[in-house]
Chains A and B, each alone.
Chain A
């Protein structure tokens, strides 16, 4: 329990630091949002009025805490560009990107763990060679290219999926899921390749340990030793890599959402950057950082589940 409280405290501190960095970094970027919104032809008093309206004339630290308070209470301010509350702007994309990420994580785990374990179990034999080849391919193929390939084969060729776009969750969970499947697969591919490799080497390492022989001496078959004794111990390094890899999912979603034309956070932040919509950028950046930290928090918790020795620390 203490373990969880400590990790939670660390999470909050890190989040605060990230928020500060995101805020002050965007503050020092040259450029005047008011000027940007009204154009260079705008009159000086109009600009001043808008700055007041946007709160840009108050001291920096006051704005920081104002924004932070807003962030915590769910008031993220107004988008400079669209003139709508940022909360509104990110609400729908959030329900595209998070399910997309979760689906990609699920696909990654379902593919990589059994493949890695299989390769280790049959080390040097055919399954190992095939898995190694597949992971090599998975690592070599850039996911935007793989995304295009998936569209070519499954959307244009076979016509099983739409080539892009998102019908919205109103269209029913099945259709929404269908729209997310190909993007999730292309996001999962490099992750699955990396994690399958880590799983393979980690399982091989654990297979060499004494307690595996003890389990076999008890009469367990090779397979049940693998599932009951080896995998759980092999998961510690795998979960570590998963923690860092899954943060790349969010970065990867910027590309994949653009290829599949999904209205997610990745596309939103991409558009916000091209349009200098600083309020949106800073909020989405902090939001993504928060998501990443939550993933890492869950990873830390799962360590304690896997490895009882960590529970007391």
Chain B
């Protein structure tokens, strides 16, 4: 297999002889591994920026009353925390994984469009910088929630057009990244790598990329309407001119619901990749996983109004969106069943990536169940805009999407760096995170059911106890993530010193092409397509 990778052939456009020297390498690089690293490092940085905002939120909510920040700034924090985490941390982290892994998983020498790849990364940086700059503007950064509902959002100060242009940049960046991923998967697969032999991570990203191309332009349209309403006298959402703010909610959630799946489908792919390796079994029901992912993606386009059951829809609308939403539980259930069946009677070992993946399955299912509760339109009137929904989507995003990213990090770090991470600290990181994330979010279910509204800096004293517990969990969770930062840096600098093999994990080379490459892989890989396609994962 080393014969496959030893050749550095020279018809690759820019740098046939390895990376450019110095810092400029990272600016001009078109190499999928470099760009993957850029995305991952950037998203990790944003994870801590967004996390710091979450710490401000939890500190303020530690006790009733106003202690640390003004309500306006508090609302800025909830808004910016969401935007930074969604567009700056989770999405770019998955794009980073896609950049690193998709070419190596399908036996391609690089992404199909390397220059566009570079551009989409730097547009992301520009977009997030523009968004972050609003924190220092007159009137503060956007504080109307990440959903940016008018008319509230239109009361934003000087920051409004900047936030909107930031969304435009992030959207263009995502669309370019998605086009690149689709082109890579369609046109760059090694001979013999048929669609139904692709690792599930590749499949889930293919479907995610299609979702992104379909929804990001709709979001761009919605915020453009906000912009013209505010500055150019249109009345899309302006009631005084015959518009309707509820229209915005429809357009936003047409984007917003598929968007939340954009953050979870690649996580499904990561989990489906990791569990078979540590259960030492093929993935149970490979093709049903592919179809389930596609079904979830399709359903995501026709359920959006379940986010707005309380706007006063006709009863027929409520019923339709209720039943359509419940349907999503079926393909999702298929997935959870398959992961469980993969582990069934497997020779399991519990290294850190596996621990995070198992926690993903358990805790994502809990987030899914509360989602099912909220899909029931009449009950949703109680849950709407309370901490119950905050608990729900944080269960699907933190111990699900973020845990799968952690799992992916631990799983592929030895491959990327050639060094083994410190397993003891990794496990400590896992247990601290898994316990504290539940202390953080589980009590929020109780708060929501008792009626505590979301997006408020102060609350009635009856909510004090659970909020304090939730905040304590939040602080432990936040602090635990510093362990991850330490492990990543430590591993890059040599880790345990243990020499890792090409396959790193026992028999991993049967599960994916990336494990047939040296660790770390050379700058250019698969310039000649691989001879054998592993099939253990299907």
Is the A/B pair a real complex? no
A-binding residues in B (CB < 8 A): none
